[in-house]
Amino acid sequence: MSRLPSSEPPRVGQTLATLRQARALSLDELSRQAGVSKSMLSQIERNQANPTVAVVWRLANALGVPMAELLSGEESGTPAMVTVPPHAIPSLRSPDGLCELRILGPIELAGQFEWYELTVQPGGVLASEAHEPGTREHLTVHAGTLRVEAGDDAQALSTGETARYAADQLHVIRNPSAETARALLVVVHVS
């Protein structure tokens, strides 16, 4: 038996929001990628507006999904592989602009298990307040030199070295050298 067509247009808001968040995209980022205004995206996600076919096409292309997935209101399942282009990876900068954290982990793991690509310019300092009790960080230097301070402990790290330390206390990562340092920073939160 075939289904009768609905008298109401499909609501794509929840599907759009889910797909956008799974790709760790902000409304601004998706707006730029799809060429759709941020206010329109917000209205669509809150089911206050239904997009035109042209807008659905642009959103589907920006998200890398078939148009039917957005229109059906259902996800086609978890893909075997999701790739994130470099421009879609969010980043954070320290107040002085000398440290950048590129957020490599998916947003749904935030607060549990996080990993970042850390770049620290000469003289840069990334100071962090204590995280939840039991939280640990793992810092592996890929290029340059970094100094890690956690509580009363301090250690200089060269390329290839890893420091593992308690992050449930004040901790600082600094670049004391004259060259840019790059590292992988993994944060493991205890649940």
Least confident of 24-28, 152-156, 182-186: 24-28
At a CB cut-off of 8 Å and minimum separation 6, what does 45 contact?
Answer: 13, 14, 16, 17, 20
Q: Which of 79, 95, 87 is nearest to 62 (CA)?
A: 87
Residue ranges per structural domain of the chain: 13-72, 89-188
For 50-58, the CB contacts below 8 A with 24+ separation are 50/9, 50/10, 50/11, 50/12, 51/12, 56/12, 58/34
Least confident of 66-75, 97-106, 167-176: 66-75
Class of domain 89-188: mainly beta
Q: Tell me what pLDDT residue 4 has.
A: 44
3-state secondary structure of 63: helix
Q: What is the mean pLDDT of the chain?
A: 86
Does residue 6 surpass a pLDDT of 70? Answer: no
Q: Which of 182, 123, 176, 118 is nearest to 147 (CA)?
A: 176
Does residue 182 surpass a pLDDT of 90? Answer: yes
Q: Tell me what pLDDT residue 10 has.
A: 64
Does residue 5 surpass a pLDDT of 60? Answer: no
Mean pLDDT, to the nearest integer, of 130-158? Answer: 96
Q: Tell me what pLDDT residue 128 has.
A: 93
Widest Cα–Cα separation across the chain = 72
Q: Torsion angle of alpha carbons 191, 156, 86, 23, nearest 10°?
A: 0
- Does the model's pTM come out above 0.85? no
Angstrom CA distances, 62 to 50, 83, 90, stand at 18, 12, 16
Q: Tell me what pLDDT residue 160 has.
A: 97
Mean pLDDT, to the nearest integer, of 77-104? Answer: 82
Class of domain 13-72: mainly alpha
Contact call for residues 137 and 165 (beta carbons, < 8 A): yes
Q: Which of 2, 57, 11, 10 is nearest to 34 (CA)?
A: 57
Mean pLDDT, to the nearest integer, of 92-101? Answer: 91
Does residue 13 surpass a pLDDT of 60? Answer: yes
Q: Tell me what pLDDT residue 7 has.
A: 53
